[in-house]
Amino acid sequence: MTTQNMKPIRTIEAVTLQAFLTRMVDGGALPASLAELVIAVSDGCASIAKAVEHGPLSTADAYLGEANVHGETQKQLDVVSNDIMVRAVERVPCLAGWVSEEIEDAQWSKNAPDPGSPTYLLLFDPLDGSSNLEVNSMVGSIFSVLTLPQGGPRDDPRHFLQPGTRQVCAGYALYGATTMFVVTTGNGVDGFSYDEGAGAFVLTHPQLRIPLDYNEFAINMSNQRFWETPVKRYVRECVEGASGVRAANFNMRWIASMVAEVHRILIRGGVFLYPRDSRNPQLAGRLRLMYEANPMSFIVEQAGGGSTTGTQRMLEVEPAQIHQRVPVILGSKQEVERIAHYHAKQSTSSVPACGS
C-alpha cells in the first residue's frame, strides 16, 4: 500500500492539556492556580508512566514489597511513584498540603501561599492496582483536589476531612496500552492521551458520557459468600441472564485495578462494585474514600453516571479519617440506582447499619 492510501483512522485536534486548561482559565471557568496544580499532577503521572513502563529494568526490586502503613503489600514501584508525585507537586505555590495512600500522615508544604489566590489540598493514590504490576497488567494513579478551608491553623489534618461534594477537581491516569489522563473540574469529564513525540497529553476523549445501560458488571466473585443480600441479589439476577428477571444476558469483567474498571465504564458503561463484605467486619469496605472512591465518584457523576455506598450517595459521605474505607458501587446510572434500591428495600425489612 502506498502512503497516499494510508488515511488516518481519526483526525485528532491537537489540543494539549496545557492549552485546554489555559482556555478554561481565560474563559473564567478555572482559577489559574488550579490549572497549574493539574499540570503538575499530570507531569507526575507522565513520569510515573515511565517508571511503570521500565518496571524491572529500572530496579530489580520494582515488584518486591513489604507491608505499608495499612498492612498491605507496598511495592518498590508504589514508593517510587509516591516520591515522583510529591516531587512534581511540592513546589506548586497554591498547594498547602497533601495526603497519599503510601503515607500515614498529612504532609504540609513550605510554600508561601499567594495572597488572594485559592490554596489547595491534594489527595492521591500514586499507583492503584499495583498487584497487577508483576503480571504486566494495568495500573493507574488517582487524585482529588479540595480547597484549604479559611481560618484556624493552616496545617490542621482535619482540613482534609471534607465530603466529596467539595472536590474542585479529580482525575486519574491510566497506564495501559496508551497512557491516559482523565480529569474533571466540575464541567464534564475530558480524556487526554499521552503523545510521546510531543511530550504532552493531548485531548482525545472530549466530554465523556457514560452510556445509560450496558450489560456488564465488575466484581470480585471470589468474595460472593461474604457479600450483603442486596449485592448477592443484583449479581444473581445478572448471572441468570435472558431467562431471569432482567431478561437480558450480562457480561462480567474484573481487572483488579479500579482505574482500569472506571475507565472501561466511562467508555462503554456498566457497573463496578467493591461492596461491603463480612470478611473483616471492622472494615466498611476495601477501597479508600478520600483518594479512590471520592475522585472516581466525582468523575462518574460528571459523566452522567451514579455512585453510592449502597445506602448513601458517595459524594455526601462525611469523612472521619483520612484513610477510611468505604463500600463502592458506581457506573451506569440505572444500574447503580437499581442496586441502591435493593439496599433500601432491605433496610426497610431489617439490616444492621453500615459502619466505618
Residue ranges that bind ligand F6P, judged by CB under 6 A: 128-129, 131, 220, 256-258, 274, 286-287
As measured in angstroms, the least distance from the Cβ of 125 to ligand F6P is 7
Indicate the residue among 92 and 210 with the shorter CB distance to ligand F6P.
210
Nearest to ligand F6P by Cβ — which residue?
258
Indicate the residue among 50 and 279 with the shorter CB distance to ligand F6P.
279
Least Cα distance to 201 among 92, 39, 82, 54 occurs for: 39
Distance from CA of residue 43 to its chain's centroid?
A: 17
Asked if residues 270 and 252 have their Cβ atoms less than 8 Å apart, the reply is: no
What CA–CA distance (Å, rounded) separates 12 from 179?
A: 16
Indicate the residue among 9 and 177 with the shorter CB distance to ligand F6P.
177
As measured in angstroms, the least distance from the Cβ of 254 to ligand F6P is 7
CB-count burial class (<10 Å; 0-12, 13-18, 19+) for 136: exposed
Distance from CA of residue 297 to its chain's centroid?
A: 8
As measured in angstroms, the least distance from the Cβ of 98 to ligand F6P is 18
The grid coordinates listed for 186 are: 466540575
CA distances from 163 to 94, 168, 231, 285, 294 (A): 21, 11, 25, 17, 8
Partners of 179 in the β-ladder: 175
Asked if residues 123 and 160 have their Cβ atoms less than 8 Å apart, the reply is: yes
3-class DSSP state for residue 354?
A: coil
Query: H helices within the chain, ranges in order?
Result: 17-26, 32-54, 76-89, 229-240, 258-268, 294-302, 333-349
Indicate the residue among 182 and 202 with the shorter CB distance to ligand F6P.
182
As measured in angstroms, the least distance from the Cβ of 112 to ligand F6P is 35
As measured in angstroms, the least distance from the Cβ of 131 to ligand F6P is 6
Q: Tell the residue number behind the cell numbers 450489560, with chain if given.
A: 215
Indicate the residue among 43 and 128 with the shorter CB distance to ligand F6P.
128
As measured in angstroms, the least distance from the Cβ of 72 to ligand F6P is 8
Indicate the residue among 81 and 185 with the shorter CB distance to ligand F6P.
81
Sign of CA dihedral 72, 75, 106, 51: negative
Indicate the residue among 106 and 258 with the shorter CB distance to ligand F6P.
258
Indicate the residue among 22 and 324 with the shorter CB distance to ligand F6P.
324
As measured in angstroms, the least distance from the Cβ of 257 to ligand F6P is 5
As measured in angstroms, the least distance from the Cβ of 83 to ligand F6P is 19
The grid coordinates listed for 65 are: 514489597
Least Cα distance to 217 among 200, 205, 234, 197 occurs for: 234
